[in-house]
């Protein structure tokens, strides 16, 4: 089987997070990866200073519609990671929903990058969007320990609930 992945997440010049850490390993495995960078930063947001550009929701939608218009949107898997704004995340949800409507077999891997080390590093307004719009679409959820257990805003099911949920989905 040929795998085609759409990866929507961050890109950093220094370090290995987001698309910088996802695309190359998948390509080494022979997987075709199309990637859209939600941001292009000098480094990840854990550093004191971060410089770079942020892709806005309209540009994300335009890129996706360009892929779709050319018939290049037939994916087997979708991966999403760091998103810095609510309107961008809403557009990600629309894209995932559209792809899953066109192909019910597409698998969606959601890494809800919210924070780490006891600190939220995205706007809190993203949490209900993940909870209400992206989590229900996800086949696999990839929260880190902070996102799952330690945040006052933790809303992910426990590991046991995730296992039970995944068994029901099969």
Q: Are 37 and 19 in contact (CB under 8 A)?
A: yes
Task: Report, as an integer, the average pLDDT of 23-29.
Answer: 96
Among 121, 114, 46, 58, CA closest to 91: 58
Q: Considering the entire predicted model, what is its pTM?
A: 0.86
Q: What is the band of 137 on the pLDDT scale with cuts at 50, 70, 90?
A: very high
Is residue 158 pLDDT above 70, yes or no? no
Task: Report, as an integer, the average pLDDT of 70-91.
Answer: 96
Task: Report, as an integer, the average pLDDT of 35-63.
Answer: 95
**What pLDDT does residue 55 have?**
95
Mean pLDDT across the chain:
88
* Structural domains present in the chain: 4-169 (3.40.1190.20)
Please, what sign has the CA dihedral across residues 54, 45, 31, 79? Answer: negative
């Amino acid at each position: 089987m040929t795998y085609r992945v759409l990866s929507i997440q961050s890109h950093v010049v220094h370090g290995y997070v987001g698309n910088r850490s996802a695309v190359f390993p998948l390509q080494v495995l022979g997987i075709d990866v199309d990637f859209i960078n939600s941001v292009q930063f000098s480094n990840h947001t854990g550093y004191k200073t971060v410089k770079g550009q942020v892709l806005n929701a309209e540009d994300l939608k335009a890129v996706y519609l360009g892929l779709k218009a050319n018939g290049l949107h037939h994916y087997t898997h979708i991966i999403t990671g760091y998103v810095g704004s609510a309107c961008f995340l809403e557009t990600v949800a629309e894209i995932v929903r559209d792809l899953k409507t066109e192909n019910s077999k597409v698998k969606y891997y959601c890494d809800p990058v919210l924070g780490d080390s006891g600190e939220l590093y995205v706007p809190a307004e993203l949490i209900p969007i993940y909870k209400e719009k992206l989590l229900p679409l996800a086949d696999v959820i990839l929260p880190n320990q902070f996102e799952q257990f330690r945040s006052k805003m933790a809303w992910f099911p426990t590991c046991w609930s995730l296992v039970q949920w995944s068994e029901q989905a099969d």
